[in-house]
With several copies, the nearest count.
Chain A
Amino acid sequence: MSEHALMSDPGTTGRFGDYGGRYVPESLIPACHEIEAAFRDAWADPGFRDRLTTTLTVYAGRPTPLTPARRLSRELGITLLLKREDLAHTGSHKINNVVGQALLAERMGRRRLLAETGAGQHGVATATAAALLGLEATVFMGERDIERQELNVRRMNVLGAEVVPVTTGSRTLKDACNEAMRHWVASVDDSYYCVGSVMGPHPYPWMVREFQRVIGEEARVQCGAELPAGVPDYVVACVGGGSNAAGTFAGFVGTTARLVGVEAEGGAAATSGRAGVLHGYRSLVLQDEHGQVREAHSIAAGLDYPGIGPEHAHLRDGGRARYATVTDDEVVRALVRLARTEGILAALESSHALAWVIRAAETGAVAPGSTVMLTLSGRGDKDIAAIKELP
């Protein structure tokens, strides 16, 4: 497959090589078709694109800056540029996707957004977009996550969203996804399922990547202005489901930049997963020898997901992107180091990407003098309580 065909329209089957597809009950198939058609229509409509761009600009704070991390760069002997999704409204890149999907849901005449959430970031973003457009929002969240992320639950409540505790399975994100799907089956006429990452049945992985593409496209232009070579040597992003990475990579897949996705050691579907089907799509999935899906474990709640977007599986297989893992320990150290050298509190999720860059620069795996563009997917205020001991 030519480079150019990578990260383009996966067609009506929603396949990225062996991955993707639409593994959902028959009851949901018409809804998936309808959403695909609506998205194709909207995406080709300059009016919709304008409204989306305006909302992202005037409301969500785009474009986000590309910040040179000067002091950390000096320490590492590289040039590190940070794409600042932490400055986007609600504090992460999640808003790019939900604004897009909420506008689509409105266009489709839906009155309610359904969403799953783990740490609560996507839930907050969904509640936000729903409030902005006057839609209702119902957010499914594992009971254990509700306990761990009380503040985000409260944020959603203040925003007027209903948060439904999920008490099945491991009572975390993957069960919230199941429950959201189940609820969607039962309310597909008036509800729109606002998926939080490049996962789920076609057209979601593609559509979410397209809504997140703005990260990569902005960064590409900003790198052009900032770097003598115009293009960085490395483009790095963390990978939970993989939406910030997909949106970032989409801006650079046609360049010479090396693409690196960084997962949590305890949630490394791209590295330790096997091909499987979960939540409506075929991809790499963490599972035991019998095919039961394993719970992911990471200090970053947003990376506690046992799957990975199907397009990432495809990028990995073809070698266009590589995927690495870092440990919780490295992540906390990276977070604190960035805070102290640049005054930026990155989310634990984003700190995975950073931890990899630090390690790679310090071991020489990323050569001295290299230029690195890193997507800082969100802010770390939500994570402060989780950092028990300062390294």
Chain B
Amino acid sequence: MTLEEFLIARRDAGRSLLVPYVTGGIRPGWTDVVRAYVDAGADAVEVGFPFSDPMLDGVTIQEASDRAIAGGATVAGILAELAALDVAVPLFAMTYSNLVFQRSGAAFCAALRASGLRGLIVPDSPLEEVGELAGAAAAEGLDLALMAAPSSSPARLREIAGRSRGFVYAVTRMGTTGEGGGTSPAVARLGRDLKGLTDRPVLFGFGVSDPARAAELAGHADGVVVASALMRRLLDGTGPRELGEYVASIRRALDHREPDEQYAPLPRHRRRPDRQDQVGPLPRG
């Protein structure tokens, strides 16, 4: 199953999707964090490959990246650890273009696939730069997710929704990753617009800082990505078990959220058949 198939299946089962994030190599034994996330009810896990100049990240993920790099984290090292990890939900990579294009997009995608990852997201490769990489990802059966922003025009949203794979990453605000920030009508609108354009899961990210906020945002889409709130705790010394408990608390909030009055459920698009021929299990290890 691809990342996208996996997420759609869960969503279609009536579940709000929860994707926690961890910076690869942030501490020894960091893969325990991935396991704890999964055990706590994650539907997928986003693994950050730390880059020295993370343009779209706020202070927390910057610090996490710096710490991982200082600790010797490399793409190859993180991939080796992930290859040894066996978890029940798909993992995907988040990183910046410079790491992706070290050799080539194809080489990078092949390495991800060889380590069992199911997708990737590259915040500084927008639509206009993503062509080659999208081909390479597709060739490796990886889902390359694209980001949509409150500033994206309707035409761009349509193109993003159409070209994104796995899910669409909708950023809740004009700004960097980081905790805090309320829900604005614009966010609700972005969720609604995207869901009107695609049947792919739409996940909100940026500022999903606690269970209540997660539940609120999930009301406008199919789920959330939680990153800085977890990394802040991890940087402050919180261990995998407690991180897992925190993810579980978000899981509970998502599972029991009150029906949101503002959120009028939209008719589901028919699943698009265009990539069915690519489906199949990825090799591991």
Identify the B interface with A (CB < 8 A).
51-59, 62-63, 66, 69, 74-76, 96-99, 101-102, 123-129, 146-153, 156, 160, 171, 173-176
Nearest B residue to A175 via CB reads B53
Q: Are A277 and B101 in contact (CB under 8 A)?
A: yes
Which parts of A247-283 form the interface with B (CB within 8 Å)? 275-280, 282
Q: Could you list 9 A-B pairs, sorted by A, with CB under 8 Å?
A: A24-B124, A26-B127, A26-B148, A27-B174, A29-B128, A29-B151, A169-B62, A277-B97, A282-B101
Chain A residues, CB < 8 A from B57:
182
Closest to A29 in B: B126
Residue of A nearest to B176 (CB): A182
Interface hub of B51, B127, B128, B146 (most chain A Cβ within 10 A): B128
A188-B151, A291-B102, A292-B52 given; A24·B126 CB < 8 A: yes
Interface SS of chain A: mixed
Return chain B residues, CB-CB under 8 Å to A188.
151, 174
CA distance A128 to B211 in the complex (A): 47
Contact B98 A182 (CB under 8 A): no
New contact pairs (16) apart from A24-B55, A290-B76, CB-CB < 8 Å: A23-B126, A26-B127, A26-B146, A26-B156, A29-B128, A29-B156, A30-B156, A31-B151, A175-B53, A181-B55, A182-B55, A182-B175, A186-B173, A186-B176, A290-B75, A291-B51
Are B53 and A178 neighbours in the complex by a CB distance under 8 Å? yes
- Name B124's closest neighbour in chain A (CB-CB): A23
Whether A84 sits at the interface, judged by CB under 8 Å, is no
Q: Is the CB of A22 within 8 A of B53?
A: no
Verify A26–B98 contact, CB threshold 8 A. Answer: no
**Cβ-closest chain A residue relative to B150:** A27
State whether B62 touches A291 (Cβ < 8 A): no
- Nearest 6 interchain pairs by C-beta: A277-B97, A27-B149, A186-B175, A292-B52, A26-B149, A291-B102
Q: Which of B75, B76, B96, B148 contacts A277 (CB 8 A)?
A: B96
Say whether A30 contacts B152, CB under 8 Å.
Answer: yes
Known: A185-B176, A276-B98, A291-B102. A168 touches B62 (CB 8 A): yes
* A21 and B53 contact, CB distance less than 8 A: no
Count, chain A residues at interface, CB 8 A? 38
Partner of B124, one of A275, A280, A287: A280
A25 in the interface, Cβ–Cβ < 8 Å? Answer: yes
Whether a CB of chain B sits under 8 angstroms from the CB of A108 is no
Complexed CA–CA distance, A308 and B76 (Å): 27
Tell me the complex Cα distance, A27–B172, Å: 11
Mask of A121-160 contacts with B, CB within 8 angstroms, 1/0: 0000000000000000000000000000000000000000
> Is B53 in contact with A293, judged by CB distance below 8 angstroms?
yes
In the complex, per-residue mask of A27-43: 1 if CB is within 8 Å of any chain B CB, else 0: 11111000000000000
Q: Are A186 and B174 in contact (CB under 8 A)?
A: yes
Name the A residues within 8 Å of B171 (CB-CB): 25-27
Inter-subunit contact A178/B128 (CB<8 Å):
no
Task: Using CB atoms, name the residue of chain B closest to A31.
Answer: B151
| Min C-beta distance of A89 to chain B, whole Å | 32
Binding site for B on A (CB under 8 A): 13, 21-31, 168-169, 174-175, 177-178, 181-182, 185-189, 275-280, 282, 285, 287, 290-293
A22 to B63, CA, bound (A): 26
Given contacts A27-B171, A27-B174, A169 and B55 within 8 Å (CB-CB): no
Q: How far is the CB of B181 from chain A (nearest CB, A)?
A: 10
Chain B nearest Cβ from A356, distance in angstroms: 29
- Smallest CB–CB gap between A295 and chain B, Å? 9
Q: Whose C-beta in chain A lies nearest to the C-beta of B128?
A: A22
Does A185 contact B152, Cβ atoms closer than 8 Å?
A: no
> What B residues does A21 contact at CB under 8 A?
128-129
Contacts of A292 on B, CB cut-off 8 Å? 51-52, 69
Instruction: Specify which chain B residues have a CB less than 8 angstroms from the CB of A282 in the assembled complex.
Output: 97, 101
Give, as a whole number of angstroms, the nearest-CB distance from A47 to chain B. 29
Give Cα A102 to B148, complex, Å: 29
- Are B69's CB and A27's CB within 8 A? no
The CA of A384 and the CA of B52, in the complex, are separated in Å by: 32
B58: which of A22, A175, A182, A287 is its contact (CB, 8 Å)? Answer: A182
Cα(A22)–Cα(B123), bound, Å: 12
- Determine whether the beta carbon of A293 is less than 8 Å from that of B151: no
User: Given A30-B151, A30-B153, A291-B51 in contact, is the A277-B98 Cβ separation under 8 Å?
Assistant: yes
